[in-house]
Structure formats: structure tokens, C-alpha cells
Amino acid sequence: MRGLLIGRFQPFHNGHSYVIREVLKENEEIIIGIGSAQISHTLENPFTAGERVMMVSKSLYENGIKKNYYIIPIPDVNNNSLWVPHVRSLTPPFNKVYSGNTLVKRLFGEVGVKVETPPMYNREEYSGTMIRKRILNDEPWVDFVPRAVVDVINEVSGVSRLKDLAKSDRA
């Protein structure tokens, strides 16, 4: 069995890491689809697809997960009915989709693909929105993401990028 987990991973955090381990309990392989791959440098989507690929692959390595996954950036398309075939054209074949996004669940469900929402662990702390806010407000955030994600964010000067984006959004 091969499962597809789709998310924006802005940034990848410990909740995502937990979900991947859960999905791998019932699948031999996991495909991790990086959604909205074309969007970066916005307050909601600060990191590029390439940076998110680094976050995910280095975090999996840190967790001892070394070979049974594929990380595929998936750009959005301007037509929801074409999104599922678009996703299929970019990914290895899969038996089941894992997502917390209502539209994702509907689009796959309508074409008969099994969809499940995996429970997120400690949702108050492990949320992309909360972590982006904490980074912006100089509140503690490094304990909510794998060490590898801290390294990637530091490598790309992610903290100052978010702060600059906040300034330009207010301007």
C-alpha cells in the first residue's frame, strides 16, 4: 500500500512528523505532496517548494526514515476539477489520500479515492499558522519543529524573511 499526504508544510512541524509516522504504520510507502508549490515569500506561504523539500527530507532522515518515501512538489491549478488528474500526473500511484483540507477530501472523494483525515497531535502548538506567528513575534518556536527545520529556516534567513514580509504587507 502507498499513501499520499498533501499539505503546504509552511513550515513542516512536529504534528506533520507524527502524521507521517502514523501513515507509515498502515502503508509500506508514503508520498508527501508539497501543495501550492509555486507560492513563496508571502506571510501565509513564506517558504519555497525547494526549501520545504529540504525541511521534509532532512526531518525524515533525523527520524530514521530513510527510503520509503517520495517528496513531490505540486503547483496549484486554476481549475479544481482538473486538480486530481494533475496530482496523479505528478505522483507515483497511491491507494489512499490523507488530508485535513475539506476541498482536498471532496475532490478525491468525488472520483472514488479513499480519503482519511489523520489526527493531528497537540494541535494547539503544532500548527503552521501558530508557528509563523510565533516566529514573527519573537516567541519560542524551535521546540515545535524538528531540529532539521530550524537549520533550514536559519540557512535561508527565514526569520528575517517573515519579518520583512510582515512589513511589506502592512505598507
How many Cα atoms are found within 13 Å in the side-chain-facing hemisphere of 110? 11
Enumerate residues 19-38 that contact ligand NAP by CB under 6 A: 19, 35-36
- In the region spanning residues 36 to 55, those forming contacts with ligand NAP, defined by CB under 6 A, are 36
Among 1, 41, 85, 103, binds ligand NAP (CB under 6 A): 103
Which residue number is nearest to ligand NAP in terms of Cβ? 35
Q: How far apart are CA 16 and CA 34, in angstroms?
A: 12
DSSP string covering 61-83: HHTT--SSEEEEEE---S-GGGH
Q: Does 76 bind ligand NAP (CB under 6 A)?
A: yes
For 86, 128, 158, the CA distances from 10, given in Å and listed in that order, are 22, 6, 11
**Count of residues of this chain found to bind ligand NAP when the rule CB under 6 A is applied:** 23
Binding flag, residue 101, ligand NAP (CB under 6 A):
yes
Residue 118 lies near ligand NAP (rule: CB under 6 A): yes
